């Protein structure tokens, strides 16, 4: 009696999700043509502002190379821009606080991805 409900298999749920239509995503830009995104990881919170430009990336007012010293952190943070191939056409300004540098780096990734 307790187990008389149909069991859903993972494959069936994934097939169901694949069959659903995807919604068109609208760009949400402010008056100056900039997009905003928010991300967090553990205790770190990041806000990213993306605008058309020449590929300059600043974190808390400092260039990316001066703020994140580890190459793996810089690579991880550039991942959304590299995948979409927007590295040289967008300026990214990020404000991040809380946690350590690795958590801050990981909080920047979804912030940039949501802003793009």
Q: Whole-structure pTM over 0.85, yes or no?
A: no
Q: Average pLDDT over the chain, rounded to whole?
A: 84
Is residue 20 a part of any domain in this protein? no
Residue 9 lies inside a defined structural domain of this protein: no
Query: Residue 103: which domain range?
Result: 26-115
Place of tokens 């260039």: 63
CA 37 to chain centre: 7
Q: Is the pLDDT of residue 11 over 60?
A: no
Residue 34 maps to which CATH number? 3.30.230.10
Does a structural domain hold residue 13?
Answer: no
- Least confident stretch, 14-23, 49-58, 105-114: 14-23
- Lateral strand order in the sheet of 62-63: 35-41, 44-52, 90-97, 57-59, 62-63
Is 99 within the bounds of a domain? yes
70 belongs to a structural domain: yes
Pairing of strands 57-59, 35-41: unpaired
**Higher per-residue confidence, 11 vs 112:** 112
Residues 83, 87, 92: CA angle, nearest 5 degrees: 110
């Amino acid at each position: 009696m307790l187990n008389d409900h149909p069991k859903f298999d993972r494959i069936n749920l994934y097939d169901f999700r694949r069959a659903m239509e995807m919604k068109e995503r609208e760009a949400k830009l402010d008056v100056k043509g900039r997009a905003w995104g928010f991300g967090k990881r553990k205790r770190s919170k990041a806000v990213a502002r993306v605008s058309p430009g020449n590929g300059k990336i600043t974190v808390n007012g400092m260039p990316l190379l001066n703020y994140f010293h580890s190459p793996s952190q810089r690579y991880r943070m550039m991942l959304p821009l590299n995948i979409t191939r927007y590295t040289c056409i967008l300026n990214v300004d990020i404000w991040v606080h809380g946690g350590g540098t690795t958590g801050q780096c990981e909080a920047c990734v979804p912030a940039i991805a949501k802003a793009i």
